Structure 1
Amino acid sequence: MLDHIQAVIVDLDGTMVDTLGDFVVALNHTLDDLRLPPVDRGLVERSVGKGSEHLVRTVLDHQLALPEVAGSDALALSWPREQIHALALERYQHHYLFINGQHSDVYPGVVEGLQGLLATGLPMACLTNKPLAFAQALLEIKGLDGYFSQVFGGDSFERKKPDPLPLLKTCEALGTLPAQTLMVGDSQNDAMAARAAGCPVALVTYGYNHGDPIAEAPHDWLLDSLAELLD
């Protein structure tokens, strides 16, 4: 798999760390602030991967449309939608700052895979749609920060995955050509960005992909574990 590969870019949420618990807790604190009912894990799992703004907006709009919310004292019902979106994002980021990493776990095989990649001498970057400050903190909390020479978040560039720009900019930072830079991710966002950038892509089978089968996303390899990168 690593033949002709000169660098590796790895996604974070759903690829290295199962952060669904963090998302659910932070979102439910946010919804409670707005006097809205809590969200179920299924909706959160289908909504993650496109950045905090998309996640908060999707969950908020879903909860506002619930029949039991109509006629309630929910704060969000009396405000313009864009204003309540902005407030919800602010409250979510406030809560996430304190929750980050507390309800999440590193997936099996991740440390083994990263250690193996490090031993090859290939430079590695972490590229995620999570805000950079949260990504850096999570990597440090989980002991994964030492594997990456570069870390980029959803606010590091003008656009997020599935746009190819973040991958192209990350390849520039690594000093490698896209065709020789492997993207490792868990969703169609990673797959579409990699294809558009000209990077080969390996997708893990256990992450978040908006409820769709990961095998249907464009890929060169499917992995049950990051440890398989060395096979």
Structure 2
Amino acid sequence: MFRMIIFDLDGTVLNTLDDIHSSLMDTLDKFGLEKFGIDTTRTFVGDGIRKLIERAVSPDKYSENIENYFREIYNKRLVETTKPYDGITDVMERLKAAGACQVVLSNKATEYTDSIVRHFGLDRYLDGWYGFDCFHEKKPSPLPVREILKEKGFSVDDALMIGDNYTDIESGAGAGIKTCFCKYGYGKLRSVQADFFIGSPSEIPQIAGLK
């Protein structure tokens, strides 16, 4: 059994896409920019808000005003339609009962991560949660994973990274731990392949080594 489980948040524990998309569309409308469907937004998420806005408006049209407006709107809609994926809290409860250390590592800012974790009561299962600004580098850098392992006192053999995007898999693999890709999320892989693949949260206990 893996004694340390590192979860991504968006697309892994929580389905946040609708709230991100609606906030983004209102932002584009505010600045008179071309809007698009949610499937396009799906391809833009996973690398933080700055990258999301750059991809949505194009790098040459990006401005801090646009990003700040999005942040203001999204902060009000963090949990309008966002909800945990079916079965994920049951899985986290089982992992906790088995003695696993569980944390969330997100490319969201810590203020958003903290608000969402507490709103959905995920803090009852977790031993920590981290936004991108908790570290000098963010996923796909392996640094956050290494720092978390050091802080919690686990070796690379103890740990499993679970996420739905290349940022999660590359971060975990770069740190030397096993990785699990969530096909039910809205991210994608690039050059680094995961060790495990799952189609729903219900498959996590088997991957994690629970009996």
TM-score by length of structure 2 reads: 0.91
Q: Secondary structure at the match of 2:186?
A: coil
Partner of 2:193 in structure 1?
218
SS at the partner of 1:9?
strand
After TM superposition, give the deviation of residue 61 of structure 1 in Å.
Answer: 1.2
2:154 to 176, 180, 189: 176
| Aligned counterparts, 1:142-157, within 5 A | 142-157=120-135
Q: Of 46, 53, 58, which residue of structure 2 is paired with 1:56? A: 53
**Could you tell me which amino acid in structure 1 is paired with residue 89 of structure 2?**
V
The counterpart of 1:40, out of the listed 22, 37, 41, is: 37
Instruction: Give the AA of the match of 1:49.
Output: G
Shift in Å at residue 220 of structure 1? Answer: 1.5
Match of 2:5 in 1: 8
Q: Is the 8 A contact 2:6 2:160 kept in 1?
A: yes
Larger radius of gyration: 1
- Give 4+ residue runs of structure 1 displaced > 4 Å after superposition: none
- The AA in structure 1 aligned to 2:199 is D
For residues 111-150 of structure 1, give each alpha carbon's deviation from its aligned partner in whole angstroms, at most 9, with x where no partner exists.
1111110111111110010111101111222222221111
Paired amino acid for 1:226 = P
Match of 1:107 in 2: 85
Q: Distance in 2 between matches of 1:36 and 1:223?
A: 37
Measured after TM superposition, the shift of residue 217 of structure 1 is 4.8
* Map of 1:25 onto structure 2: 22
Counterpart of 2:113 in structure 1 is: 135
The one-letter amino acid of 1:153's match is G
Indicate the residue corresponding to 1:76 in structure 2.
Answer: none
CA contact (8 A) 2:160 2:178 kept: yes
1:176, CA displacement in angstroms? 0.7
Across the aligned residues of Structure 1 and Structure 2, the Cα RMSD in angstroms comes to 1.8
2:162 is paired with a residue whose SS is strand
| Comparing 143-152 and 47-56, the one that deviates more | 143-152
Partner of 1:97: 75
User: Secondary structure at 1:155's aligned position in 2?
Assistant: helix
Q: 1:159 pairs with 129, 137, 159, which one?
A: 137
Distance 2:159 2:203 in 1: 17
Tell me the amino acid that sits aligned with residue 219 of structure 1. A
Where does residue 74 of structure 1 map in the other structure?
none
TM-score of the superposition, structure 1-length normalised? Answer: 0.83
**Is 1:189 aligned with 2:167?**
yes
Letter in 2 for 1:110: I
Identity value in percent:
26
